[in-house]
């Protein structure tokens, strides 16, 4: 527990006086800011009755201190005593990408877009703004950021996560947590890292088991959480719906063995909605708080389990302590949320930041010289439903703003996309400023759109697909007539730029027929101004893919075997038998070959590789050098190289560093170990250094692999090869030797 002392004395079982509204909060020790968070938490629990302690073990009783009764479905009401005085009202809100379902807030680009910036500082800056808006809207615990490992691009929630690489995902999540928890001292937020762990699909997410070997678990699925925890110390972690190797995540001993003992994690573990299936098993495994209303952690069930010896008083006190300690340490006791929400919290600075993220995250996948557009008298055709704020068949620019939120009114989105500046508006303003003209067609009729495009100098044609929680994508093709529309426009327009709004990879059967492709993800409310600046070169594209784009789903690590995805039942079928509650078995038999590791090891050429992203200039890498040339593997390592802008305009390159371990380790491919964003003027070169500190080597396990026999991380002796470049296809190389000490 990292020095935390938990009060477990018998005094905690004694009845405490009912909460009194007249208590002077300056007199109770848990509000004494001169004491440590540990001392304050212990004082509160010492003053609590048993059932007041129980309140902390369930979200709603924990966070609504004067309410005493909760209505259960089909059972007797759940009754608690009022909480001890001077405890705060705390509101949880979902929100890995922004404040959910709230007017007057900023609609930010999605987390996958933030990852595409490869800019940790920008990600942290966004989280600071997000945290400020959340607090002012009376939300003190944010259910986010989210982490998954990108096992399949079909995952319906892929846009909520940071891509397929453990290091990139872990560091992006850590930056998000730091921004939320440390960025606004007077507006404190507790972040909730979710969904732990191996929650890689929406198909039967509550009734499936993610089955894998220990090394795969530690290196691919557990590692980004470990990195995030070590680099940011979040106040809470959420366990996921699914089983891991046949045991539900919220009652799996990985909550203790991996999360607490190996990292170690100091905060509290909460469940996802409805992901608890037991009382004693969940509490003993390390679950501290049941999300939403009391079901499994009711006073009656806890009392019965305690009387039967299935749980201990020490474990009850520990769970309550973890929640209270996180709240106090996070500042929730000392800085209560406003009594009423602030109406408009989206400032001009926040909107400018949303635009900057949209600019840096948009990936230029292809460009045959059509971009940037030239100033002057151009006729630009803007075509497609997601280009305009005016809906066509229920689709508009708001569709491309954010992923679908399945709870609430039909068509409801996670974020406040009503404030969107649509691409048609943003592009029209910029084209007219340049002296040109815009013509628009909604693309509902590809033949009509083709006629509009034929009369223009260049066509910008928009395609999209919807994705969101509770269901996976059926494929990676564009929704509606998207592919046919792009084909028709490309066949008639003198030059064609495809602009894609999607939170994952896209198959592109029309790729050879268009001149350029911009992947804009779910790019938030400032997508219009961002795209306008990008297509004219006011901003040079610098986004890089945080995930591999396959040519087809069949090429993905899980694309051919139904046992891998979506998983099968005991009868061998992928279809759930009617009325069955059988657990779907999902076999992670690809092991370590996830994302780019799969394509590299299998020799499969993707449509666009991990880390890919073009610029309006070109960059050259050479003179790669690693120091020291020989190391024990636990000292600082410096990777130096020369980067040159060989083009005619200034640009920013995300220079990526990969490492191939000795063959004795059995690793399937090289791995990402670092990167640097570098801005260069035309013709400028710079000697760039990516430093792998001793702390980074330890926290990120950059040189290590998981040794199942030793049950620990291990560094192998041998020759290590570093490659540097603009994507995983990096080939500027150098080597160094490791003589491991363990």
Q: Is 272 labeled as catalytic in the residue annotation?
A: yes
Spatial distance between the Cα atoms of 530 and 107, rounded to a whole number of angstroms? 14
Q: How far is CA 354 from the centre of its chain?
A: 17
CB 361 within 8 A of CB 487: no
Widest distance between CA atoms in the chain:
83
Among 136, 204, 233, 272, the one annotated catalytic: 272
Spatial distance between the Cα atoms of 262 and 217, rounded to a whole number of angstroms? 13
CB 613 within 8 A of CB 604: no
Quick one: tokens of 211?
A: 């089955």
Q: How far is CA 247 from the centre of its chain?
A: 24
Instruction: State whether the Cα torsion 350-356-415-139 is positive or negative.
Output: negative
Specify the 3-state DSSP secondary structure of 113.
helix
Q: CA nearest 286: which of 234, 249, 244, 326?
A: 249
CB 503 within 8 A of CB 467: yes
E strand or H helix that includes residue 438? strand 437-441
Residues whose CB is less than 8 angstroms from the CB of residue 87 and which lie 6 or more positions away in sequence, other chains included: 30, 44, 65, 333
Quick one: tokens of 192?
A: 């909730």
Spatial distance between the Cα atoms of 174 and 227, rounded to a whole number of angstroms? 7
Distance set, CA 80 to CA 45, 53, 68, 338 (Å):
15, 10, 5, 26
Spatial distance between the Cα atoms of 493 and 455, rounded to a whole number of angstroms? 7
Q: Which residues of 460-498 are buried (b: 16+ CB within 10 A; e: fewer)?
A: bbbbbbbbbbebbbeebbbbbbbbebbbbbbebbebbbb
Spatial distance between the Cα atoms of 105 and 341, rounded to a whole number of angstroms? 11
**How do beta strands 671-680 and 732-738 pair?**
unpaired
In the block, residue with structure tokens 């800019």: 119
Spatial distance between the Cα atoms of 234 and 227, rounded to a whole number of angstroms? 11
Q: Which residues of 419-446 are buried (b: 16+ CB within 10 A; e: fewer)?
A: bbbbbbbbbbebbeebebebebbbbeeb
Distance set, CA 243 to CA 3, 512, 611 (Å):
32, 43, 31
Name the residues annotated as catalytic: 272
């Amino acid at each position: 527990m990292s020095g935390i002392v938990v009060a477990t004395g018998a005094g905690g079982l004694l009845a405490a006086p009912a909460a009194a509204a007249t208590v002077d909060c300056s007199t109770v020790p848990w509000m004494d800011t001169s004491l440590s968070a540990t001392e304050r938490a212990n004082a509160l629990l010492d003053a609590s009755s048993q059932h007041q302690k129980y309140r902390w073990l369930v979200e709603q009783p924990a966070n609504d201190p004067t309410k005493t009764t909760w209505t259960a479905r089909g059972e007797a009401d759940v009754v608690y005593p009022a909480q001890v005085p001077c405890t705060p009202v705390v509101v949880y809100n979902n929100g890995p990408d922004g404040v959910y379902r709230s007017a007057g807030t900023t609609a930010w680009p999605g987390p996958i877009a933030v990852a595409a910036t490869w800019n940790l500082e920008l990600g942290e800056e966004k989280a600071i703004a997000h945290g400020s808006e959340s607090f002012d809207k009376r939300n003190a615990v944010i259910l986010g950021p989210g982490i998954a490992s990108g096992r399949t691009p079909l995952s319906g929630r892929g846009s909520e996560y940071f891509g397929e690489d453990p290091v990139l995902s872990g560091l992006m999540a850590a930056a998000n947590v730091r921004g939320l928890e440390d960025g606004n001292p007077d507006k404190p937020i507790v972040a909730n890292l979710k969904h732990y762990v191996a929650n890689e699909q929406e198909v039967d997410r509550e009734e499936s088991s993610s089955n894998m070997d220990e090394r795969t678990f530690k290196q691919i699925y557990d590692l980004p959480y470990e990195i995030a925890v070590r680099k940011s110390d979040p106040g809470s972690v959420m366990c996921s719906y699914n089983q891991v190797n046949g045991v539900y995540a919220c009652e799996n001993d990985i909550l203790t063995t991996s999360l607490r003992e190996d990292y170690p994690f100091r905060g509290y573990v909460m469940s996802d909605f409805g992901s608890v299936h037991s009382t004693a098993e969940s509490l003993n495994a390390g679950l501290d708080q049941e999300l939403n209303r009391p079901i499994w952690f009711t006073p009656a069930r806890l009392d019965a389990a305690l009387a039967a010896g299935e749980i201990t008083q020490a474990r009850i006190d520990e769970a309550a302590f973890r929640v209270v300690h996180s709240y106090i340490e996070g500042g929730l006791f000392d800085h209560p949320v406003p009594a009423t929400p602030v109406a408009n919290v989206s400032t001009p600075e926040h909107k400018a930041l949303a635009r900057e993220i949209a600019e840096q995250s948009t990936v230029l996948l292809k460009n045959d010289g059509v971009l940037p557009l030239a100033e002057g008298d151009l006729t630009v055709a803007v075509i497609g439903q997601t280009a305009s704020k005016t809906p066509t068949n229920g689709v508009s620019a708001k569709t491309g703003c954010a992923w679908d939120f399945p709870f609430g009114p039909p068509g409801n989105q996670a974020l406040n996309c009503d404030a969107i500046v649509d691409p048609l508006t943003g592009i029209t303003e910029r084209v007219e400023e340049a002296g040109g003209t815009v013509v628009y067609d909604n693309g509902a009729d590809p033949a009509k759109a083709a006629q509009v495009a034929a009369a223009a100098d260049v066509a910008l044609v928009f395609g999209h697909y919807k994705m969101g929680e509770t269901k996976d994508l059926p494929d990676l093709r564009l929704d509606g007539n998207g592919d046919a529309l792009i084909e028709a426009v490309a066949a008639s327009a003198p030059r064609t730029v495809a602009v894609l709004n999607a939170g994952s990879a896209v198959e592109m059967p029309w790729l050879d027929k268009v001149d350029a492709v911009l992947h804009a993800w779910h790019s938030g409310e400032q997508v219009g101004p961002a795209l306008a600046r990008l297509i004219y070169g006011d901003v040079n594209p610098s986004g890089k893919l945080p995930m591999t784009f396959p040519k087809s789903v069949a090429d993905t690590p899980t694309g051919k075997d139904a046992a891998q995805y979506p998983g099968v039942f005991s009868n061998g079928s992928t279809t759930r038998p009617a009325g069955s509650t059988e657990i779907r078995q999902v076999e992670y038999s690809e092991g370590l070959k996830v994302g780019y590791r799969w394509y590299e090891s299998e020799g499969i050429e993707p449509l666009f590789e991990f880390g890919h992203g073009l610029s309006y200039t070109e960059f050259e890498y050479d003179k790669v050098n690693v120091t020291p040339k020989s190391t024990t593997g636990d000292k600082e390592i410096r990777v130096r190289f020369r980067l040159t802008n060989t083009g005619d305009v200034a640009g920013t390159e995300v220079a990526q560093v990969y490492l191939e371990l000795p063959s004795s380790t059995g690793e399937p491919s090289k791995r990402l170990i670092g990167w640097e964003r570098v801005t260069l003027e035309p013709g400028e070169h710079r000697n760039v250094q990516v430093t792998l500190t001793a702390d980074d080597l330890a926290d990120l396990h950059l040189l290590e692999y998981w040794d199942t026999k030793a049950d620990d991380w291990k560094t192998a002796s041998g020759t290590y090869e570093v490659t540097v470049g603009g994507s995983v296809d990096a080939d500027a190389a150098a080597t160094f030797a490791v003589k491991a000490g363990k």
